[in-house]
Structure 1
Amino acid sequence: MTQARSSLTVTLHVWHALFMREASARITGDRLGWVWIFIEPLAHILLFVAIRQLMGNLRHVAGAEFIPWFIAGMALYLMFSTVMNRSMGAISSSRALFAYRQLHPVDTILVRAFLEVLIKIIVLILLVLGAGFLGYNILPANALAVVGVWIGLWLFAIGVGLVLAVVVTSVQELGKIINMITFPLYFLSGVMIPVQFLPRYLQELLMYNPLLHAVESFRMAFFANYQSIHGINMQYVMMWAFSLILFGLMLQVRYKNRLMAQ
């Protein structure tokens, strides 16, 4: 007589199977596969370094070397962007699996978010090693703070993904509009343009953006002498993260049947 499995055991088995499926799809989904995962951040770095050369040499930003400064902010933002976008489309791409009653829409989002953050951790480590090989010192001054900020923004990305997954699954055309709206965040989060160089009134407006707080906190954890603008606070990011996760889970429960039937 077989022993009944607990709910936790069933959930873990579902997540494991879903994780292996997502990982396999990431590798074999297109011809570039894993290669594109590493080409994308390198392309961002090379493009912005070229722009910097055209604008003039900028070697330091508020106590940090420019190239390591940009790599740290870019890697963190790409993690957020990838987790959010991939989570947003997780339900639609896994709809055929909902024939199994053990699988719920929220499972697809959580597993995909976990896979993406693991990939971005590998990318960040390789970028740090590559920068060190080229002579740039990019080892974090406070490794625990770096991990804390990384996890905090990942939770924020999950919260955004939980909410947007319901919206996009219900009205798929909104996905393109959301991508257009979120693109300016690359510039408004201090990733490419040092926020210290902006006028005071713009700094005050950008302080409402949780991504700016996370990016600047990440850099302060990486570079011991980095001086950001006044008011940067990771508690603000965590407040947004937990609020969105709670709201997103409520939406997932409320519209579960509709999401599975779309």
Structure 2
Amino acid sequence: MANDMNSDMNPPSNRATGDNKSGPKARSAWAVTRSVWYAMFIREAIGRTMTDRMGWFWMVLEPFAMVALMVGIRSFIKGDGLIMNAPFIPWMVTGLMGFYLLRDGMLRGMGAVKANQALFTYRQVQTTDPVFVRIFLDGMLRTFVLILFISVGLLLGLEIYPDDVVSAFFSWFSLWTLGLGFGLALSALATLIEEIEKIIKLASLPLLLISGVMFPLNHLPHWLLEYVMLNPIPHGLELLRLGFFENYHMVKGTSELYLWAFILGFNALGLMLHIRFSHKLKAK
């Protein structure tokens, strides 16, 4: 009997050893994550660009309509001119596109967990994956639209080409990462507390008004400007405009360090929330 037991136990270990030598190697965690992101990216890209026939139209029309509206209002009241050493229309376009980049990351990232609940049945998919993929795709689409606006502006004779391409690109990237931080944090909070999503959507329009997108903040009283500049978004928009217009006079108090403190803080907060409440987010 002892011999039988040994004979029963030894072959499996030999077979297991043989399988480890001849079988495929286990993929690393990074390789699995890349595969998940690639599959989700293709899924999101098809959904954004193919399913909704009007998706591209509205993505281009929204900033164009807003710029046309604001140019019409300004022309009726004051006429066109320079805003702190920057042409008004390019100043408006850069501000709107930068704000829309951040807003899309914040709002679409906020709904990413709920929209991909079915995918969490696969253990390889983590709650942060749909947020990363969705915000990355939105960043690519907004970058394409910005390049389209720059190209059209140059054809129309507008001074919209960035004077410092590296600085403009870094500021654009900073706004994207700030939107990523907001999206990560809000995707967890809005999934756990449904009322937060409604509040954030209602706050998006006031946020547009107080971020210096349509009107220069330098016109505000100093005591009010101090409170408005607690918002990190104007810091990113002003730095983006400085990259486009080298002689642009930024709003007093603009700080790249302050902006990146918010970026790192919200991204860290978002990741911690997803780690802490991972099971609850998947179970919603």
**TM-score range, shorter-chain basis?**
over 0.9
Confirm or deny that 1:153 pairs with 2:153.
no
Confirm or deny that 1:109 pairs with 2:131.
yes
- Post-superposition offset of 1:128: 0.7
- Post-superposition offset of 1:185: 1.2
User: Which residue, out of 112, 126, 130, partners 2:152?
Assistant: 130
Q: Which has the larger displacement, 96-105 or 228-237?
A: 228-237
Which consecutive aligned stretches of 4+ in structure 1 deviate over 6 angstroms post-superposition? none
Distance 1:104 1:169 in 2: 15
Asked if the contact 1:83/1:113 (under 8 Å) is kept, the reply is: yes
Q: Match for residue 106 of structure 2?
A: 84
Structure 2: segments with no counterpart, 5+ residues: 1-22
Q: Deviations over 1:72-126 (max 9, x none)?
A: 1111011000111110000000011111110011001011111010011101101
The two structures have a TM-score, normalised by structure 2, of 0.89
Asked if the contact 2:105/2:182 (under 8 Å) is kept, the reply is: no
Distance 2:209 2:233 in 1: 11
Q: Match for residue 72 of structure 2?
A: 50
Distance 1:31 1:219 in 2: 32
Q: Match for residue 27 of structure 1?
A: 49
Asked if the contact 2:217/2:251 (under 8 Å) is kept, the reply is: yes
User: Which residue, out of 166, 176, 201, partners 1:144?
Assistant: 166
2:157 aligns to what SS in structure 1? coil
Asked if the contact 1:149/1:234 (under 8 Å) is kept, the reply is: no
Q: Match for residue 117 of structure 2?
A: 95
Q: Which has the larger displacement, 24-33 or 189-198?
A: 24-33
2:242 aligns to what SS in structure 1? helix
Q: Deviations over 1:142-174 (max 9, x none)?
A: 111111111111111111111111111122232
Identity among equivalent positions (%) equals 37
Q: Match for residue 192 of structure 2?
A: 170
Distance 2:73 2:122 in 1: 50
Distance 1:27 1:171 in 2: 30
- Post-superposition offset of 1:138: 0.9
RMSD of aligned alpha carbons: 1.2
